[in-house]
Amino acid sequence: MIGKLKGTVDEIGEDYAVIDVHGVGYVAYCSMRTLSALPGPGEAATLFIETYVREDVIRLYGFGTALEREWFRLLQNNVQGVGAKVALAVLSTLAPSDLANAIALKDIATVSRAPGVGKKVAERIVTELKNKAPAFAGAATGTIGLKQELGEGVAPVPIADAVSALVNLGYSRDMAANAVAAALKTAGEGADSAKLIRLGLKELAR
């Protein structure tokens, strides 16, 4: 099994990259996010690889980070109706931390932005991965617990009210939750919603 390729970029196609490793060109199918982050032909590059072996084909899927590869595995192994194509579409649309946030907040609309992902599939992704998302939240690790409480409707009233107020002002639920999480660090757990809103707005204005 191939777990990682380290070489130079030979070619970048619509949905794949060819990585030259000591004269051998490996074709790796990638998300749009991974492809856009690759350097130009002749430049050094590293891809984390998921190898699929079937009776009639061996296919490599490449990712810019190990975390993105883990999400590729999670989506396919845990969600009915999600194969490699849909998993790549999701990861092309959402970074791992954004996907973890959307799942925690039960934000089906954000997940369904990915091409080929309808409401039913998005609901399955949110439902099946809600307990696994925190372990693969990446940059969102610090706020994932709060977002899960909001998604489940069990967050303390001042926090829920502050997030709701910021959302009503036009901010996304994710941005509002991040701002209130930052406000909590300053104000402390006992802060009322008015204080959290005020501090949250300061965070959003930065």
> What is the arithmetic mean of pLDDT over 103-110?
92
**Where do the structural domains in the chain lie, given as residue ranges?**
4-63, 66-140, 155-204
Query: Is the pTM here over 0.95, yes or no?
Result: no
**Would residue 112 be called left, alpha or beta, if left means φ above 0 and alpha means ψ between -120 and 50 degrees?**
alpha
Q: What's domain 155-204's superfamily in CATH? A: Ubiquitin-associated (UBA) domain (1.10.8.10)
CATH 3.90.1170.50 fits 4-63, yes or no: no
User: What average pLDDT does this structure show over 155-167?
Assistant: 88
Split at pLDDT 50, 70, 90, the class of 202 is: confident
Output the pLDDT for position 126. 94
**Lowest mean per-residue pLDDT among 10-19, 99-108, 131-140:** 131-140
Region 185-191 average pLDDT: 81
Q: Does domain 66-140 have CATH number 1.10.730.10?
A: no
